[in-house]
Chain A
Amino acid sequence: MTLDPIKPAFDPVTLAIPLFVITIVGEIILGRLRKAKAAYEPRDTATSLMMGLGSNIAGLLTGAVVIAAVVGVWQFRIFDIPMTAWWAWVAIFFLEDLTYYWFHRLSHERRFWWASHVNHHSSQHYNLATALRQTWTGGIAGTWLLWLPLALIGFPPAMIAIQKGISLVYQYWIHTEAIGKMPRWFEAVFNTPSHHRVHHARNPRYLDANYAGILIIWDKLFGTFIPETDEEPPRYGLVKNLGDFNILRVAFHEWIGIGKDLMTARSPREVLGYLFGPPGWSPDGSRETSKTLKAKWLARQEAAKEPAPPLAAE
């Protein structure tokens, strides 16, 4: 059997579109019947779904450049990896998922890439429609460059595209409050609704955690895993939530924020900080980053633990 190494034989995301529609409708109906935990606000839902539609269109505009780059790099591949070998699929499953972890971590911890990814976190809801709130500016942000080493190793472009699609489809079903916890063994190995609720939470204790795509093991390996706790349910959205449902604001607000900040930058250090510092970075430290928010939360926790000072003796 031969498979075209350039053009994917199928696109997992396109194939999954009917599944997306059926399961979103199913989640809404289960929520309506009070059979599952699900909240939908129509304008929020419209924003999420239109962001997903727009992301497809944006992908068409930048897709040719991305494909050309992957194919170009693949011409210089180190190994010839056959698409028909089972071990090749096992290898790309792990390597693509590891790549995704670092892509995702970069997309949260550095503002330039956060500007592209922030839209996915801009809903205060957490439902299957939220999963489709995808970026419009990923092609411009250039995070796709992180997948080029897979082509350089020798994985055919079609194989990379298929595995990326499989990962995206996997991550769809974990955007739900309808599922509590999966069996313990599953929670230990795979990304789950519980782990990903933490990732979408804006509570300081949960910030910058659980970047996994399919396997949660990367977070455990690299120290970014935080479990969901019953004592503090996740609150979803951004540290500073958006003020309306305008899809243009959702798509571009952080880019505009970067532009405004760069206009005020007074040194190369400030330019670099505004572009590649953590989201919330400012020259004088007057704004909040995830790190400062977590530090303040920890300080409050410590203060709450400390016993009250004894009353002064009369």
Chain B
Amino acid sequence: MNAIVIQLLGSAVAVAAMVGIAAWARIPRPCPALDEAAAREILAVEYPDHPVGAVWLAADGAGAIARSGDLALVIGRLGDSWVSRDLPWDRALASEIRGGRVRIRTADSGAPRLDLAVSGVNPWPPEHERDLAA
């Protein structure tokens, strides 16, 4: 029993050391703030069968929402990668805004918490929603 505990403790120390070295190395993938072209590129990969209309960009470039018919296609940054989800456009429009962020939620159990920064320049819901119409 002692041997198992010692092995687990040793492993935990090794895990902490390896995570520390990974943080020190600073070798994540490049994941710059989104502009419209980059957002469209990601959406084209994630939703190749969905025509994408105008794209709303989060104020900090860490996410985007695009309308495709009755759907809102949402992407958000996770670490150095992107995560996508879709939901009905009406639900996206009605999403809660708190702390300067629109909180997009979906029902699936792996669902990301997509909290996208809103600013006066690009408010959510968009002032001219028709601009985002597919």
A and B bind: yes
Interface residues of A (CB under 8 A from B): 14, 17, 21, 24-25, 28-29, 31-32, 38-46, 49-50, 52-53, 56-57, 60, 124-125, 129, 235, 237-238, 240-245, 249, 253-254, 256-257, 260, 296-297, 300
Closest to B20 in A: A42
For the residues of A in contact with B, the DSSP-based class is: helix
By the criterion CB–CB under 8 Å, are B27 and A238 in contact?
no
Residues on A with beta carbons closer than 8 Å to the beta carbon of B49: 296, 300
By the criterion CB–CB under 8 Å, are A244 and B4 in contact?
no
Q: How many A-B residue pairs have CB under 8 A?
A: 114
User: Complex Cα distance A28/B27, Å?
Assistant: 8
Residues on B with beta carbons closer than 8 Å to the beta carbon of A124: 78-79, 81
Asked if B123 is at the interface of the complex by the 8 Å CB criterion, the answer is no
User: Complex Cα distance A44/B28, Å?
Assistant: 10
- B80's partner among A41, A235, A253, A256 (CB-CB below 8 A) is A41
By the criterion CB–CB under 8 Å, are B79 and A53 in contact?
no
By the criterion CB–CB under 8 Å, are A56 and B8 in contact?
yes
Which candidate, B65-73, B95-103, B105-113, is the interface stretch facing chain A? B105-113
By the criterion CB–CB under 8 Å, are B108 and A31 in contact?
no
Ordered nearest first, which 10 A-B pairs have the shortest CB separation? A243-B112, A42-B23, A124-B81, A256-B109, A40-B22, A32-B25, A257-B109, A49-B15, A253-B110, A41-B79
By the criterion CB–CB under 8 Å, are A300 and B48 in contact?
yes
User: Complex Cα distance A238/B111, Å?
Assistant: 12
Known: A28-B25, A28-B27, A31-B27. A49 touches B19 (CB 8 A): yes
Closest to A50 in B: B15
Asked if B114 is at the interface of the complex by the 8 Å CB criterion, the answer is yes
By the criterion CB–CB under 8 Å, are A129 and B109 in contact?
no
Known: A25-B18, A45-B22, A49-B19. A243 touches B11 (CB 8 A): no
**Least distance between A232 CB and chain B CB atoms (Å):** 11
Interface size of B by CB at 8 A reads 36
By the criterion CB–CB under 8 Å, are B112 and A244 in contact?
yes
Asked if B38 is at the interface of the complex by the 8 Å CB criterion, the answer is no
**Least distance between B58 CB and chain A CB atoms (Å):** 15
Residues on A with beta carbons closer than 8 Å to the beta carbon of B45: 235
Interface residues of B (CB under 8 A from A): 4, 7-8, 11-12, 14-15, 17-19, 21-23, 25-29, 45, 48-49, 76, 78-81, 83-85, 108-114
By the criterion CB–CB under 8 Å, are B15 and A46 in contact?
yes
- A45's partner among B18, B48, B78, B113 (CB-CB below 8 A) is B18
User: Complex Cα distance A242/B114, Å?
Assistant: 11
- B79's partner among A17, A43, A52, A297 (CB-CB below 8 A) is A43
**Least distance between A132 CB and chain B CB atoms (Å):** 9
By the criterion CB–CB under 8 Å, are A24 and B78 in contact?
no
Residues on A with beta carbons closer than 8 Å to the beta carbon of B78: 124, 241-245
By the criterion CB–CB under 8 Å, are A46 and B19 in contact?
yes
Most chain B beta-carbon neighbours within 10 Å: one of A38, A240, A242, A243:
A243
Q: List 6 A–B pairs whose Cβ atoms lie within 8 Å, in order of A's numbering.
A: A41-B22, A41-B81, A46-B19, A49-B19, A60-B4, A296-B49
